Every structure is written in structure tokens, then in C-alpha cells.
């Protein structure tokens, strides 16, 4: 098999293009990984970052594996290739894959070490800062709780006292109402009995007596006739 064979040139071009794309993908992935490290630094309290790196690494490996498998599939599906050609190609692909994978591993290792170094310095600063803040927060919460407890106690006490006074007032009011109702009943009965007991003659006498009293009190005063001219 000669390298001048157009088919071979064509296949090799395809392989190179595939590896170029793979390389671009890896670079992008690497940049994203670095960005993720930066984010991890900011949220270091929640995460150490190592898990993210491992996860990214796994994903990258999976992508490489996927790319490799897909490339194999493309080659396998090419009907123009003979079995021999396919083997040679696969061998070349495997070699290239391993080369790029090694390079990627080295880059990844470097990035991982760098990220771990960066992240490992964060917890000490954060820890001390967080501890101070937590202490402040705890003491603040304690004070607030104490104040809230006191104010609640005072409010409950006040409400209870108010309720007691209201109940007492209500009791007195109700008693007064009951007393007044009884009195009204007694009054009404007395009035009816009295009204029935008074005779017509007594009624008349009482009115005449009232007229006499009105005269005495100067309510009934005779108007003097004006002198005629």
C-alpha cells in the first residue's frame, strides 16, 4: 500500500480532521475546566474542587472514548476499505489516540495539580474567616433569641393582664345587665299592678290635683286682659 494512493490520502485527511476536531474539543474542555476551577475557588466553602476535577476528567475520558469509537465506526462503515486497509487504519488511529490521550493526560494532570494547589490554599483562609463569622452570627442569634424571648414574655404577660381586666369588666357588665333586667321586670310588674289598682275616681282626683299644683307652681297663669282703649 502506497502513501500516494488517493484513497489512503483521503482517509488520512479524514483522520487528521477528526483528530484536529478532537484537539479543539479538548482545548475547549481544558478552558472550561480552568473556568470551573475559578468558580470552585469562589465556592470553596461548599466544595473542595477535586471532585469536580475528577468528574471533568471522567467526562473528558468518556469523550475521547466516544470520539475514538465514532471514528472507528466511520472507518468501519467505509465500504471502499479492505479489511487490511481497515486494520492499518485502526492501528494508526489507535496510535494517534494514545498519543493524544497521553498528551491530554499530561495537560490534565498539570491543570489538576495547579487547581488543587490553588484550591487547597482557600479553606485555611475561609475556615478562619467563616469561623469568626459563625461565632459572630451565633452570638448575634443568641442575643436576638434572648431579646425575642423577653419581648414575647412581656407581650404574653401584657395580653394576659388585659384579658383578665376585660373578663373582670365583662363580668361586672353582665352582672349589671342582669341586675337591671331584674329591676326592669320588677318595675314593669309593679307598674302594671299599680295601674290596675287605680280607680277612675282616683285618676280624676290625681289630674285635678296636678292642675292645682301647676297653678301653685305658676305654670298655669291667667293672662291679664289688655286694657281696652
Partner 1 sequence: MEALFEKIKTSEEKDKLMEEIDILLNSLFQNKGEAFSILLKTGVRAWLSEYIRAELAKDEANPFEYLKKIKEELNSFKALKLTLAFEPTESNIEKFSYAVKKYLGEKVVIEFSYNPTLIAGCTLTYEGKYRDFSMKSFFNSEFAKIKQDLFIQMAH
Binding partner 1 by CB under 8 A: which of 2, 194, 227, 229?
194
211 is a contact residue toward partner 1 (CB under 8 A): yes
Residue 84 or 223 with smaller CB distance to partner 1:
223
Considering only residues 164 through 183, tell me which ones interact with partner 1, judged by CB under 8 A.
179, 183
Q: Tell me which stretch binds partner 1 (CB under 8 A): 17-25, 74-82, 121-129, 213-221.
A: 213-221
Count the helices and strands in the chain (H runs, E runs). Answer: 4, 0
Q: Is the dihedral of CA 155, 157, 160, 166 positive or negative?
A: negative
User: Rounded CA gap, 107 and 198, in Å?
Assistant: 125
Alpha-carbon separation of residue 180 from 23, 150, 173, 175, 191 (angstroms):
102, 44, 10, 8, 16
214 is a contact residue toward partner 1 (CB under 8 A): yes
215 is a contact residue toward partner 1 (CB under 8 A): yes
Q: Which cell is 121 given? A: 490554599
Q: Tell me which stretch binds partner 1 (CB under 8 A): 5-13, 80-88, 108-116, 187-195.
A: 187-195
Q: Tell me which stretch binds partner 1 (CB under 8 A): 71-79, 81-89, 93-101, 202-210.
A: 202-210
212 is a contact residue toward partner 1 (CB under 8 A): yes
Query: 116, 131, 137: which is closest to 45 by C-alpha?
Result: 131
Q: What angle do CA 145, 127, 55 make, to 5 degrees?
A: 115
Contact 124, 106 (CB under 8 A): no
Query: 5, 10, 12: which is closest to 92 by C-alpha?
Result: 12
185 is a contact residue toward partner 1 (CB under 8 A): no
Q: Tell me which stretch binds partner 1 (CB under 8 A): 41-49, 112-120, 129-137, 195-203.
A: 195-203
Grid look-up 373578663 returns: 167
Binding partner 1 by CB under 8 A: which of 21, 106, 154, 198?
198
Q: Provide the minimum distance between the beta carbon of 225 and partner 1 in the complex, in angstroms, as a whole number.
A: 8
Q: Reduce the DSSP state of residue 31 to 3 states and report it.
A: helix
217 is a contact residue toward partner 1 (CB under 8 A): yes
4 is a contact residue toward partner 1 (CB under 8 A): no
Residue 43 or 183 with smaller CB distance to partner 1:
183
Query: 25, 34, 22: which is closest to 108 by C-alpha?
Result: 34
Q: Provide the minimum distance between the beta carbon of 213 and partner 1 in the complex, in angstroms, as a whole number.
A: 6
Work out the angle between the directed axes of helices 83-197 and 6-42 (0-180°, nearest 10).
30
Q: Which residues bind partner 1 (CB under 8 A)?
A: 179, 183, 187, 190-191, 194-195, 198, 200, 202-204, 206-215, 217, 219-223
Amino acid at each position: 500500500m502506497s502513501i500516494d494512493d488517493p484513497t489512503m490520502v483521503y482517509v488520512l485527511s479524514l483522520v487528521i480532521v477528526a483528530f484536529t476536531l478532537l484537539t479543539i474539543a479538548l482545548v475547549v474542555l481544558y478552558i472550561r475546566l480552568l473556568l470551573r476551577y475559578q468558580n470552585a475557588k469562589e465556592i470553596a466553602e461548599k466544595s473542595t474542587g477535586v471532585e469536580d476535577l475528577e468528574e471533568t476528567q471522567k467526562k473528558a475520558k468518556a469523550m475521547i472514548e466516544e470520539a475514538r469509537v465514532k471514528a472507528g465506526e466511520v472507518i468501519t462503515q467505509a465500504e471502499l476499505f479492505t479489511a487490511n486497509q481497515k486494520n492499518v487504519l485502526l492501528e494508526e488511529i489507535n496510535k494517534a489516540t494514545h498519543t493524544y490521550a497521553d498528551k491530554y493526560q499530561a495537560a490534565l494532570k498539570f491543570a489538576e495539580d495547579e487547581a488543587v494547589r490553588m484550591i487547597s490554599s482557600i479553606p485555611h483562609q475561609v475556615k478562619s474567616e467563616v469561623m469568626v463569622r459563625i461565632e459572630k452570627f451565633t452570638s448575634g442569634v443568641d442575643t436576638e433569641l434572648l431579646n425575642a424571648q423577653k419581648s414575647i414574655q412581656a407581650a404574653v404577660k401584657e395580653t394576659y393582664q388585659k384579658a383578665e381586666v376585660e373578663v373582670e369588666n365583662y363580668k361586672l357588665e353582665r352582672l349589671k345587665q342582669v341586675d337591671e333586667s331584674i329591676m326592669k321586670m320588677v318595675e314593669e310588674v309593679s307598674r302594671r299592678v299599680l295601674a290596675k289598682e287605680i280607680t277612675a275616681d282616683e285618676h280624676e282626683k290625681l289630674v285635678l290635683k296636678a292642675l292645682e299644683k301647676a297653678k301653685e307652681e305658676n305654670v298655669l297663669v291667667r293672662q291679664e286682659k289688655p286694657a281696652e282703649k
